[in-house]
Structure 1
Amino acid sequence: MKLTEQLYWGGAALIVLWLVAFGLSLVATRNGTVTPGPATQEFGDDPESPAVVSLLGNDWRGVENAAAATLLDLAARGFVELRQPGDDPVRSSVHLTDAGRTASDLTPYEKRVLDRVISRAANGGAPIGAIAFRDDERAASWNTALRREIVAEARLRGLSRYRFAPLLGSALLVGAFVPGSLFTVAAVMGGHGIRGAIVVGVLPGAALAFLLGKALGERATPKGLERAGHWAGLRSWLTAHEDFAQLPPASVTVWDRYLAYGTALGVTTLTGRLLGFDSGDRRRVWSSYGGTWRSVRIRYPRLRPGFGCSTRRLLQLTAAAGVVAAALCAFAILRQPDWAMAVDKGTWRRPGLVLSAGWAGSVLLGLLVAGKFNRWTLFATFLSMMPGNFVSGTHGWFHDAAAQEGPIPAELAAIAAFAALAAYFLALAVLERREPATITGEVLRMESRKGKQAARFLALDEGTTALTTAWALPAASRAIATGAQVRLRVSRGTRTIRSAELVRAALPEGDGLRAPKQQAS
């Protein structure tokens, strides 16, 4: 066996050994079993916070509902106040108290939650739905930092620890790249290029390191398992109250800290759902632009023809739709019955193939003019011709249609549709010549779309209505931070933003991070 072959086989053997060691490590460091204690309503002498309890209650895998539970705990301790004006808990609101404005002796994650409330409710309170973030990235970074702070306290209390000891984790990480080094040497000795050798060497290590990264996390300590059993007993006591699961947030005034712990343990489903610290509902956003809080519904025009197009693009689409209509019309008028033959099964002049080839060719011409012609459209066109290709005989729909002189009803409908579409695009192009309108408002959300050249959705609250339709921000334009107040010059026909001027930067959202850089173009 050649040396290069020995190196390849040696690297493969090392990968197998690494996977075996990794599997044994997972088994050795798996979480212990929590033994639920008896049902109890006692918190204990030095109870953990609801946020830490959420970690224990989720088997050290996550901190689901930790932020909501912390907010309820702050309300139970008098730092904030939750009010429900009517019978609908969705209309509940959160308000700061004097104690909340001057609070100082709080844990980092409690301070983080309180700062978020202050940023939204500093001026007389806010709906609980306004606590949610308007940006996915901001929500993810905020919750990641929150989890990190909760885990830090759990470790400080001796309830949690790293799943892998530092030495074991480092050994597995280094060992993940050893097989790749053998592959690299073998590739170089085999006469392969440096780039190929590096790729062959890095890919196995990257895959193994990915597996290792997915397994990293927390696991319980003996004390943590004991305390988790105690809180499982509290969960049993709370679950015994049938109405507890549907308690609204404002009921914290009656249930005190029990509502916070119930939310952390997943017992109060309604409260955990209403107090969301995630990215919120992308179709309904709370806004205070204009002086009062309002729920603004956002409509995204995904299927609107011409949305976000420039004048040049509209003219191109006009030409493309016109070409399709003209090609279909010419094919329908010039087509003769003797173009098709239904006698010979192997002929290219089958009725179905003649019709489908003419229709598909017309569409391909339009795609070519529209700049959408590629190998995938060619493949889709080929597939679209298959039904007609497999149809033969002396009777049937394709045969009757091919035997008819002049356009058939389906062709007339298609010609009319594409002609109307061409007229529509042309009308939009004419309207684009008008002076853009100027509007001012607050950015509610920014949503990306598939494709690098696709315009992004920008939802703007002008402060006058509870329903807004998103505008198209061209892909080449710089992003605008949510919460910023901007003055836009827009084309209403295509709902395209032509230019943007920053009026006021977005205010800090109480997430402990710097506000995103404000840009406009």
Structure 2
Amino acid sequence: MDLKENINQILLILIFLIVAVSYNFIYLFQYMSYGGYLLPYDFNTYLYLILAVLMVAGSFIPLVIYLFYGREPEIDYNTMYEYDLPTDDPPAIVNAICGSSGYKKIGIPDIDGFNATIMDLIDRNYLILKDVQFDGDDLNSHGSVFLEINTDKDVSSLWEFERVILDFLIEYEQDGIISMDLISESMSYIESAEFFRETYEKWAYEVKQTLINDGNLKKAFLRKGDKYIKIFGILGLAVALIAQVFIRVNPLAAVYYMGVSSIILGASSAISIVMPEKIAGRWTEYGREYYAHWDSFKTYVEDFSLIKEYPPNSVNLWNRYLVYATALGVAHGVKKAMEFSLPKDILRENDIYMFQYDNTPTSVLTNAINSALEPD
């Protein structure tokens, strides 16, 4: 019998054993405490003591769920650094699976993935950076950044989530040019902020649907344990709150133990509700290898001294690294290494670098996303 597929039956057996043992333990304790004479405790007293024991025991259910569903499979991969891109997946897909946020759900992209998708469209020449003016050699002295959609490129081959971004940018097109400053300024208007929110949510939905339709999400990560632990958290918190209400209207001394136990159960339940899904859920063998490869690449690109010592061998490869480092939330190390390794005139002509550069469109879009997604 596969124990992982029969956890509910196992938990019922455990609860039955706990009830039986706790009842006999309390009975024996009372017998020994009074010189071998059993006191005529009423049924309610024993019931409250048993419920107290059950609530304490129930607090360990998340541990049982983790043991059955949260332990990761062993993989034969021990490489600390990846010097090449592990896969050719779009940066939004990599972000959705391996993004930097610890509380981000697997399969749900975030702001870094949105920015990296635009950078990827620039790198593949679907978007063109236009009219960036400088004052002298200082890279900080550039003016507004503008984008232009390359009408010579066939967008039918793009992923749906990439077309969502192009459709959004077209809405801000004036005489064929898209001003990033205009997008930022428009976020102060409710209509524009709502439109951006809808665009961002549609983009995230399409990224997730791409993973689901390709079967890669289920192939990489199993959520069953996280689902069970969240159900436990909700039910456990409800039981703990009911117990706290009940003990305030019951005069029996035994309810004190029930109250203490409900606090323990409530704490365990609250932690279960906010627990990141990576703890109770688990990677499959394929998913763990996928994540491990990209995590090793992330370790490489966020280490300035390492990427400086082993840099990419072309500007095009630098650009790819910067796109995927953005998707992984660690672009700073690559930017710093590019500034150290490449001449300023090369950097000023590099659309990917200039788009990512501080105080240019990525920060504009990040601020816009944060503003648009704030609760009303």
TM tier, smaller: 0.5 to 0.7
Q: Is the 8 A contact 1:80 1:96 kept in 2?
A: yes
Asked if 1:262 is matched to 2:262, the reply is no
Counterpart-to-counterpart distance in 1, 2:72 and 2:200: 24
Q: Which protein is richer in helix relative to its size? A: 2
- Structure 1 residue 17: Cα displacement: 2.7
Counterpart-to-counterpart distance in 2, 1:122 and 1:147: 26
Asked if 1:113 is matched to 2:154, the reply is no
In structure 2, the residue matched to 1:58 is 100
- Structure 1 residue 115: Cα displacement: 3.3
Which of 278, 286, 297 pairs up with 1:223?
A: 286
Asked if 1:93 is matched to 2:146, the reply is yes
In structure 2, the residue matched to 1:450 is none
- Structure 1 residue 162: Cα displacement: 2.0
Q: Is the 8 A contact 1:134 1:280 kept in 2?
A: no
Q: Comparing both chains, which one has the higher relative contact order based on Cα–Cα distances under 8 Å and sequence gaps of 6 or more?
A: 2
Counterpart-to-counterpart distance in 2, 1:255 and 1:126: 25
Q: What is the DSSP-based 3-state SS (H/G/I as helix, E as strand, rest coil) of the residue aligned with 2:148?
A: strand
Asked if 1:164 is matched to 2:225, the reply is yes
Counterpart-to-counterpart distance in 1, 2:329 and 2:319: 16
Show structure 2 runs of 5+ residues with no match: 1-40, 105-109, 253-261, 336-355
Alignment of 1:329-478 (within 5 A): none
State the number of aligned residues: 268
Counterpart-to-counterpart distance in 1, 2:90 and 2:329: 15
Q: What is the DSSP-based 3-state SS (H/G/I as helix, E as strand, rest coil) of the residue aligned with 2:293?
A: helix
Q: What is the DSSP-based 3-state SS (H/G/I as helix, E as strand, rest coil) of the residue aligned with 1:111?
A: helix
- Structure 1 residue 222: Cα displacement: 1.9
Q: Is the 8 A contact 2:298 2:328 kept in 1?
A: yes
Instruction: Give the direction of change, closer, same or farther, for the CA distance of 1:85–1:124 in structure 2 (3 Å limit).
Output: farther
Match for 1:50: what amino acid?
A: P
- Structure 1 residue 48: Cα displacement: 1.8
- Structure 1 residue 70: Cα displacement: 0.8
Counterpart-to-counterpart distance in 1, 2:146 and 2:317: 17
Which of 67, 80, 88 pairs up with 2:114?
A: 67
Q: Is the 8 A contact 2:127 2:148 kept in 1?
A: yes
Counterpart-to-counterpart distance in 1, 2:230 and 2:207: 22
Asked if 1:18 is matched to 2:58, the reply is yes
- Structure 1 residue 98: Cα displacement: 1.4
In structure 1, the residue matched to 2:123 is 76
- Structure 1 residue 264: Cα displacement: 1.7
- Structure 1 residue 69: Cα displacement: 0.8
In structure 1, the residue matched to 2:344 is none
- Structure 1 residue 71: Cα displacement: 0.7
Counterpart-to-counterpart distance in 1, 2:147 and 2:99: 26
Match for 1:96: what amino acid?
A: I
TM-score w.r.t. length of structure 1: 0.40
- Structure 1 residue 72: Cα displacement: 0.9
In structure 1, the residue matched to 2:84 is 41
Instruction: Give the direction of change, closer, same or farther, for the CA distance of 1:42–1:23 in structure 2 (3 Å limit).
Output: closer
Match for 1:81: what amino acid?
A: I
Q: Is the 8 A contact 1:39 1:237 kept in 2?
A: yes
Two-structure CA RMSD over aligned residues (Å):
4.8
Match for 2:235: what amino acid?
A: V
In structure 2, the residue matched to 1:214 is 274
Counterpart-to-counterpart distance in 1, 2:120 and 2:98: 17
Counterpart-to-counterpart distance in 2, 1:146 and 1:205: 39
Percent identity of equivalent pairs: 18
Asked if 1:124 is matched to 2:176, the reply is yes
- Structure 1 residue 172: Cα displacement: 4.8
Alignment of 1:173-184 (within 5 A): 173-181=234-242
Match for 2:321: what amino acid?
A: Y
Match for 1:213: what amino acid?
A: I
Match for 1:231: what amino acid?
A: W
Q: Is the 8 A contact 1:8 1:182 kept in 2?
A: no
Counterpart-to-counterpart distance in 1, 2:66 and 2:150: 48
In structure 2, the residue matched to 1:490 is none
Instruction: Give the direction of change, closer, same or farther, for the CA distance of 1:40–1:212 in structure 2 (3 Å limit).
Output: same
Instruction: Give the direction of change, closer, same or farther, for the CA distance of 1:243–1:8 in structure 2 (3 Å limit).
Output: same
In structure 1, the residue matched to 2:70 is 29
Q: What is the DSSP-based 3-state SS (H/G/I as helix, E as strand, rest coil) of the residue aligned with 2:172?
A: helix
Counterpart-to-counterpart distance in 2, 1:167 and 1:177: 15
Q: Is the 8 A contact 1:7 1:182 kept in 2?
A: no
Counterpart-to-counterpart distance in 1, 2:204 and 2:50: 41
Counterpart-to-counterpart distance in 1, 2:111 and 2:310: 18
Q: Is the 8 A contact 1:163 1:216 kept in 2?
A: no
- Structure 1 residue 144: Cα displacement: 6.0
TM-score w.r.t. length of structure 2: 0.53
Instruction: Give the direction of change, closer, same or farther, for the CA distance of 1:212–1:108 in structure 2 (3 Å limit).
Output: farther
Counterpart-to-counterpart distance in 1, 2:180 and 2:129: 9
Instruction: Give the direction of change, closer, same or farther, for the CA distance of 1:237–1:209 in structure 2 (3 Å limit).
Output: closer
Give deviations 1:343-364, integer Å, cap 9, x for gaps: xxxxxxxxxxxxxxxxxxxxxx
Instruction: Give the direction of change, closer, same or farther, for the CA distance of 1:82–1:225 in structure 2 (3 Å limit).
Output: farther
Q: Which protein is richer in strand relative to its size? A: 1
Q: What is the DSSP-based 3-state SS (H/G/I as helix, E as strand, rest coil) of the residue aligned with 1:58?
A: coil
In structure 2, the residue matched to 1:499 is none
Give deviations 1:324-374, integer Å, cap 9, x for gaps: xxxxxxxxxxxxxxxxxxxxxxxxxxxxxxxxxxxxxxxxxxxxxxxxxxx
Show structure 1 runs of 5+ residues with no match: 192-201, 246-250, 283-444, 446-508, 517-521
